[in-house]
Amino acid sequence: MRETNSLPRHIAVIMDGNGRWAKKRGLPRTEGHKQGAEVFRRICRYASDLGIEYLSFYAFSTENWKRSAQEVDAIMDLLRHYLAEMEEREDENKEGGYRIRFLGAREGMPQDIVRLMDEVEERSADKTRMFVNLCVNYGGRDEIVRAARTLAERVQAGTLQPQDITERLLSDALYTAGQPDPDLVIRPSGEFRLSNFLIWQSAYAEFWYDDVLWPDFTPADLDRAIEAYQNRDRRFGNAK
């Protein structure tokens, strides 16, 4: 039995490999994204049952706009469908106890999707069993730039002195303000990159990589990642 007190509080996941999964099967890339969305639901339920407090998923990056218009449109339609489904499954969502937050820039996103995001966040605001962050139109560097601008505006307004800016103040200006940093970052698909995902917050995270493509990712794979995390000695720069 896994010791609850040794579980990571916050797991961040780069949902990678949807397109390659579809290509291997001779399917359109959009089918990979659909299957990936189903895996997202499954992993949320399983992680909640394990007692994970925070889950963050990299769903759509600021760089993903460079993909073909057909693929971007398909991803946006899938997001619309998922958000609308959340409304239809409100009783199930209440039982799950997920507090949903969307991290990323709302500018440039379709307005109907932004409205649905706002509604989902509002309806789940009182849930406390597990916090689920969906990073949409998200980039780690962009997030830090926005936080720096927020602090610069406070300096300009005279409410903050430059010498008083600390790591904590900058952290509190990020999308993840008030949340613990990720303990474990998971990237399936065989890639070994952070890809601009939670780059400030992941400074001391443990990383777990595997060749499995995201649409094939299972609760057993999550178990393997957690077990690898539990077997590591986290020193945070301290010599032992």
Cα gap 130→169, rounded to integer Å: 25
Residues in Cβ contact with 231 at an 8 Å cutoff, skipping those fewer than 6 apart: none
Cα gap 140→236, rounded to integer Å: 21
Residues in Cβ contact with 161 at an 8 Å cutoff, skipping those fewer than 6 apart: 155
Note whether 75 and 31 are within 8 A (CB).
no
For the record, the structure tokens of 29 come out as 């890339």
Closest of 240, 227, 237 to residue 8, by C-alpha: 227
For the record, the structure tokens of 106 come out as 């709302």
> Per this entry, what is the length of the chain?
240
Residues in Cβ contact with 175 at an 8 Å cutoff, skipping those fewer than 6 apart: 103, 104, 133, 138, 143
**Active-site residue (options: 5, 18, 49, 64):** 64
**Active-site residue (options: 5, 16, 49, 118):** 16
Note whether 103 and 138 are within 8 A (CB).
yes
Strand partners, 15: none
Cα gap 54→12, rounded to integer Å: 8
* 196 catalytic residue (yes or no): no
* 64 catalytic residue (yes or no): yes
Strand, helix or coil at 127?
A: coil
Give catalytic residues, as residue numbers. Answer: 16, 64
